[in-house]
Amino acid sequence: MAIERTFQPLPPWQRTDYCGALRASDAGRQVALWGWVSGRRDHGGLVFLDLRDREGIVQVVFNPERSAAAHEHARTVRAEYFVAVKGEVVRRAPNTVNAALPSGGIEVMADALEVLNASAPPPFPIADEEIAGSQSGAMSLSGSQSGAMVSEELRLRYRYLDLRRPRMQRNLRLRHAIVRATRAHFDEHGFVEVETPILWRPTPEGARDYLVPSRVNPGRFYALPQSPQLLKQVLMVGGLDRYYQIAKCFRDEDLRANRQPEFSQIDVEMTCPRPEDIMTIVEGMFARIYRDALGVTLSVPFTRLTYEEAMERFGSDKPDARFGMELKNLTDAFAKTELNVIRRSLAEGGAVYALKLSGEFQPTRRELDELVAQTHSRFGLGLSWAKVAGSEWQGPIAKHIGHTERSGAALALELKAGDTLFLIAGARDKVRPALGDVRLQLGTRFARPARHLLRFLWVVNFPLFEYSEQEKRLTSVNHPFTAPCPEELEALERDPLSAHSLSYDVVLNGEELGGGSIRIHNSEVQLKIFELLGLSREQAVDKFGFLLEALSYGAPPHGGIALGVDRIAMLVCGTDSLRDVMAFPKTQRAVDLMSGAPTEVDSAQLKELSVKVVL
């Protein structure tokens, strides 16, 4: 076939409407549409095309009595052909209205059809109604007799087709609404948007840097920013007063469903704020996002929990508060226990924590055994359980639990017949996270908290430092530029691990959406923190000399926060994976399956960069 007969460089007529935007009020209008053929039904006398664009689907009817040429042409098109249609909008007969479609009350009687581009048979159906998603990203073809599954790898390989799906269209438009609402909110509150460099210098921020070799400076490297942390502090020294940015960030770390090597964050910094000022601004931002994107009104202010309270009640610094099942400290109740494993733990200074699963939920013995095995595998701790059956308790440890322990547990947890008790003994800083993990597994399996429940909260007053057994030194819980609580400055000399920071994380339904802090604005205090982290003054000046110098020139107190755009979009869209809200994500091996990145580089390019590959 000659090229000039198959290539249509431009549509033959201007589009008047989007397919999915047509309604009954448009009846009688002449319209021109563009879109993909989502489905074709040939009933002999009539041909029906479902035409799809970003706004949705409309049914187009081809009647040979109205246009024989268009009718004949419609019989030749296939799924995902991109076509242009002209015709008249008419109301459907009452018995043919499709209530499942916003445009289901009308159809377009076609007068003309032009194929703008044909399509190869797609590797999977595009319409969402033919695809059932799963948490792993696989899609089942419900219309298929074989019940075949479409893997996420196939979706990412053909991402340009996956993006056509109505669900992906909706997700990306919701993401757009999130960013638009964010910009509007900060603009209304006097913030200035400033772009910071992508090519910058390596700085230790907790993850590996992506490095970029410099051709004009052989042997030297830029780093892609893990965050604009230092630069936004410099902007405050520079007098911007209120800054924000939708910033691109890069971290070379192991990936999972809610982590990508490149991501976007809402980066915010203010001069002379208190933590409450930052939290109030951010609450207003979320209220604006949910109002504009979903029409949902949030209740503000959000709940505040100290780090210690969050760990004590939920075993997590990002608690899911949509269900109860809170942890209880039963150390005193088990002080004189005869259960050897608990007695040994208490003798070593350990603690006993427990939670209950309500009697309305009855896990099987297999489920209980799996939970015990998983807890031991993940945390190296023993999970014990017992079922309350009136005055008798059942389970592996039931006969070893005396009256005092039972009474103490029953009082603390308000145990009733049918409830299941779970407990762990050991070092307190290990027991609480382990039992917190058990809580989440039980909540997911039995409580099944609804996605539409929105339990925002703040976790505040984090420890300033933690001790790394692996590195044998203090490390920052947040980052090394986080200010200590002013009343605890003396603790930096005598007991640094007891010091707390002016930091705060915002959490929704067990997902950390962002974190921030008041920063150190005094160079001597900053040097002291570097010293406690194991950096000499010379090393600190070498790595952070420009920041220390900037702080010495009348730097004002300042603080801010960084919030994950992708994670916010994931929760707004109601999905479990960041890959569902990013246009071109990478796999868990940091590979772009569509383009094939990363790729090998030509030896001439490497030579120009003074780089040699050694495997």
**pLDDT surpassing 70 at residue 136:** no
**pLDDT surpassing 50 at residue 339:** yes
DSSP string, 265-305: EEEEEEES--HHHHHHHHHHHHHHHHHHHH--PPPSSPEEE
In this structure, of 88-102, 253-267, 277-291, 562-576, the range with the lowest mean pLDDT score is 253-267
**pLDDT surpassing 50 at residue 237:** yes
For 555, what's the count of Cα atoms within 13 Å in the CB-facing half-sphere? 26
pLDDT of residue 3: 46
pLDDT class for 127, splitting at 50, 70, 90?
A: confident
When the pLDDT of each residue in the chain is averaged and rounded to a whole number, the result is 92
Mapped onto helix, strand or coil, the DSSP state of residue 425 is: strand
pLDDT of residue 609: 92
Global pTM reads 0.92
pLDDT class for 205, splitting at 50, 70, 90?
A: low
For residue 295, CA distances in Å to 38, 291, 511 come to 29, 4, 22
Tell me the pLDDT tens digit for each residue of 137-148: 454 433 333 344
Tell me the pLDDT tens digit for each residue of 419-469: 999 999 999 999 999 999 999 999 999 988 888 899 999 999 999 999 998
Tell me the pLDDT tens digit for each residue of 374-412: 999 999 999 999 999 877 889 888 888 888 889 999 999
pLDDT class for 44, splitting at 50, 70, 90?
A: confident
Owner of token pair 């909008």: 89
220 burial class (0-12, 13-18, 19+ CB within 10 angstroms)? Answer: exposed
Q: How far apart are CA 207 and CA 166, in angstroms?
A: 36
pLDDT of residue 338: 83
Average pLDDT over residues 327-352: 92
Please tell me which residue, 173 or 206, carries the higher pLDDT value: 173
Average pLDDT over residues 327-354: 92
pLDDT of residue 141: 39
